[in-house]
A and B are shown apart, each in its own frame.
Chain A
């Protein structure tokens, strides 16, 4: 499901457009504009995936996790939409007062695919979350996306989020990465 082959790198103009798209996405998520994000930045055929990856010895020949295996996120469009809907019920006690989440998105590399309107985009992230008085956490990792050109903008079709930490040092990962 996540094996779309990356071909040659995109032009600097396209790279700029894609970068701007990523920064806008981060701004929406930082501002809690989850409805705008799911409705305009996300494609209806979405697969949003965060696998669980064990620590294994290098001699271990078992295959990498697939979307059929244990995952922290393994959602289609409607499932992500339900996660957004939960945040907007007004009954998520730990989000009132709201926590702040800050996205640092770097190392954006974008590639053409077999389809003219679809691109493989890799990026690194650091996500900082602060809550209450002193509570804070940070999450570091990378994303491998399939992004589709739609009208003047782009939509997320597939996202694989790989976290660097084996043990999550946070209450939860209820954050859109």
Chain B
């Protein structure tokens, strides 16, 4: 029997290998994590006109998201209230209503049952249509990015993002126009646990130089120096890592936003023009982030690379498989030519045939499948890199680690994972709001480090 309350040890920064394998753990995740968190659905730019719809997934549940006739966003479970058939099989489109293929029940774009065939003759006008609406899902959007939540007691999307929203604004607001997503998404199956890619994107600067050595060699440029994880690189000075209250986190490589893009004339011009505007709009700390390359995960299963601009959701399909969906982020105020360049380059590096993404597949799958062996999956996985070299920062909210190569964001992700897995409700989680960062005990890390730097600069 797996002890759900002991999957993660936040003191020793280790996690049981069962988190990648065990069915009972997975079942609890579906209930406690995917049933309670805000999950990414789509971007509003894909639902501009009344009647526009997309189909997507929230974990293993199929859902429809629409722009209803009153202009509001609606989301509901893609399953007929008669005999349960899926009512929509297209990826996207525009419609007045959804008609179930089985017996022809008709639902409007807000999920209400508006008509059934032979209502008078065979239901004798006795069917209570009002009680047979599709199951609705809470839907909220942040800067145009649309999320859904099954839990009525969950905080608002904005509160769920918390400090992470402050970071997201760096590019979701940016110079003012913000960003949108380009689809249709690429989709593929990967036989791994959903947490392996999520943790990889949230906090794994370490693997880049080794796993992606081949692509970095061919690419050269700013990140070419990372190939092989050369010891002489001043990693502590090249960026930071951040984790937040609800598990969202990221790592930043300074001045490297566009480094993965081999062809980037338009993008480089855009960044040069836009960084001063971001500084004016949001201040210097975020202008610096705007020019950095970010690897990120929004808890639980949405990841992206800001700069490279790939945006992914890892839909779980049982403990040992996921469906990966990939879009591209573009700044709304970019030229059309610039947007096309970004879409092409992002797909080229991190799409289904990505020159970098293709390197990662084996790592994801093997870290999962190796746990088929019962002796193999006894014991724990380690994420102690840089433990103690992290704390509260004067400029950046959350807990900030000293280098983009470290495991600060792993620690923050699994800290919140354990909190959700063992909590009975959102009230339990809220009760911990003041103390969530207690497992990062080096409270003076940044104060001391900044003072030491200042003293050093004075001495010179």
Q: Which residues of A contact B (CB under 8 A)?
A: 50, 52-57, 60, 68-75, 79, 82-83, 85-87, 89-94, 166-175
Closest to B325 in A: A167
How far, in angstroms, from A86 to B183 measured CA to CA in the complex? 27
- Is B135 engaged at the interface, CB distance under 8 Å to the other chain? no
Which of B213, B217, B353, B358 has the most CB atoms of chain A within a 10 A radius of its CB? B353
Closest to A76 in B: B263
Known A91-B213, A171-B358; contact A56-B93, beta-carbon cutoff 8 A: yes
How far, in angstroms, from A9 to B235 measured CA to CA in the complex? 61
A/B interface sample: 24 pairs, CB < 8 A: A52-B183, A54-B92, A55-B90, A57-B90, A60-B94, A68-B340, A70-B328, A70-B343, A70-B347, A72-B186, A72-B347, A73-B353, A79-B262, A83-B355, A87-B214, A89-B217, A94-B362, A167-B323, A168-B188, A171-B188, A172-B188, A172-B358, A174-B354, A174-B355
Closest to A173 in B: B353
Known A74-B344, A171-B358; contact A55-B365, beta-carbon cutoff 8 A: no
- Is B190 engaged at the interface, CB distance under 8 Å to the other chain? yes
Q: Which of B176-224 contact A (CB under 8 A)?
A: 182-190, 211, 213-215, 217-218
Is A174 within 8 A of B214, CB to CB?
Answer: no
Is A72 within 8 A of B323, CB to CB?
Answer: no
Number of residue pairs A-B, CB distance < 8 angstroms: 113
Q: 3 smallest A-B Cβ distances: which pairs?
A: A171-B361, A168-B188, A172-B358
Is A52 within 8 A of B186, CB to CB?
Answer: yes
Is A82 within 8 A of B352, CB to CB?
Answer: no
How far, in angstroms, from A79 to B218 measured CA to CA in the complex? 11
Given contacts A52-B184, A86-B217, A175-B353, 12 further A-B contacts (CB under 8 A): A52-B183, A54-B90, A56-B91, A71-B344, A86-B215, A89-B213, A94-B358, A166-B187, A167-B187, A172-B352, A172-B354, A174-B353
- Is B351 engaged at the interface, CB distance under 8 Å to the other chain? yes
Which of A52, A70, A73, A74 has the most CB atoms of chain B within a 10 A radius of its CB? A70
Contacts of A175 in B (CB 8 A): 353
Contact among A86, A94, A166 with B355 in the assembled complex (CB-CB below 8 Å): A86
- Is B89 engaged at the interface, CB distance under 8 Å to the other chain? yes
Contacts of A79 in B (CB 8 A): 262, 348
Contact among A69, A91, A173 with B214 in the assembled complex (CB-CB below 8 Å): A91
Known A75-B348, A89-B213; contact A94-B361, beta-carbon cutoff 8 A: yes
Closest to B355 in A: A86
Determine how close the nearest CB of chain B comes to the CB of A119; give it in whole angstroms: 26
How far, in angstroms, from A37 to B355 measured CA to CA in the complex? 19
For the residues of A in contact with B, the DSSP-based class is: loop
Closest to B192 in A: A171
- Is B357 engaged at the interface, CB distance under 8 Å to the other chain? yes
- Is B22 engaged at the interface, CB distance under 8 Å to the other chain? no
- Is B359 engaged at the interface, CB distance under 8 Å to the other chain? yes
How far, in angstroms, from A94 to B348 measured CA to CA in the complex? 18
How far, in angstroms, from A92 to B354 measured CA to CA in the complex? 13
Known A54-B92, A82-B355, A172-B352; contact A71-B347, beta-carbon cutoff 8 A: yes
Known A56-B90, A71-B347; contact A171-B365, beta-carbon cutoff 8 A: yes
Determine how close the nearest CB of chain A comes to the CB of B233; give it in whole angstroms: 18
Closest to B340 in A: A68
Contact among A54, A74, A172 with B91 in the assembled complex (CB-CB below 8 Å): A54
Is A92 within 8 A of B214, CB to CB?
Answer: yes
How far, in angstroms, from A11 to B444 measured CA to CA in the complex? 81
Known A74-B347, A82-B218, A89-B217; contact A167-B188, beta-carbon cutoff 8 A: yes
Contacts of B362 in A (CB 8 A): 93-94, 171
Is A70 within 8 A of B184, CB to CB?
Answer: yes
Is B189 within 8 A of A170, CB to CB?
Answer: yes
Contacts of B189 in A (CB 8 A): 167-170
Is B92 within 8 A of A56, CB to CB?
Answer: yes
Determine how close the nearest CB of chain B comes to the CB of A132; give it in whole angstroms: 9
